[in-house]
Amino acid sequence: MSFRHLLRALVRRWPILLVGALCTAAVGFVAVRADGVYWSRTNLVFLAPSSKMYPNSLKTRSEDLIITAGLVAKRVNGPAAVEKYSSTDATIIGIPDTGSPFWLRLPDTGGQWSPNFADQFLILEVVGDSPEEVQQIQDDVVARARFELNAMQREQFVDPVNDITFTVAPEPPVIYHVRGNRVRALGMIAALGGGITLATVVALEYRSRRNMLLDPEFAGMH
């Protein structure tokens, strides 16, 4: 379809342009009025039991702590497979919606084919509609993690004096108010709305021409 024919089609099908413009404007209005979300990111740092030889639990590094942290995350998150992203800086705001208000994970610094878990802490991210909601969700997840950690050690008959524990840092969490880029959002909405409207007009034009060619009366004239 030439540019001249496209212009004629747009003029001829102006109701579609009007509907497309109204729908695009409505979506843009909603995007501009969006209040954003509240987000926090904290670490659950796993600590080995202190002893005379290793009195500072924070300085004690152990593969057992990393494995324990991973098992706790698995028990809290459930049996579903964990999504791996190319960057460890990915946040719950930037990933596809999972339907969960929190994301608890063991940092993986490895590549696509060789995971590497070198840190003995879990990253906990929470999103919500208010600071109070974010705080409540974090408290619930931390409580669940403590319960699962204790349950695991009781199942293995670990003497409480040798228990692995964890601390939350920072505590209390820093809660941020995150807003999207309104200019970028409006630009993308305008591009998508215009593209969909244009594609609809072109599709209707091709359909109209096809029906005309299949019309016996039109075919008899040619």
CATH code, domain with 163: 3.30.70
- Residue 10 lies in domain: 3-34+181-221
Residue 165 and residue 190 share a domain? no
pLDDT at 190: 80
pLDDT per position as a tens digit, 113-163: 666 677 888 999 999 888 999 999 999 999 999 999 999 999 989 888 888
Residues near 117 by Cβ (< 8 Å), separated by ≥ 6? 66, 70, 106, 107, 108, 109, 110
Measured between alpha carbons, how far is 177 from 56 in angstroms, rounded to an integer? 36
Q: Two tokens at 113?
A: 């084919």
Statement to judge: residues 172 and 186 lie in one domain: no
Number of independent structural domains in the chain: 2
Same domain as 88, residue 23: no
Matching residue, tokens 């610094």: 109
Residue 212: pLDDT band (50, 70, 90) is low
Same domain flag for 23 and 131:
no
Q: What is the largest CA-CA distance in the chain?
A: 102
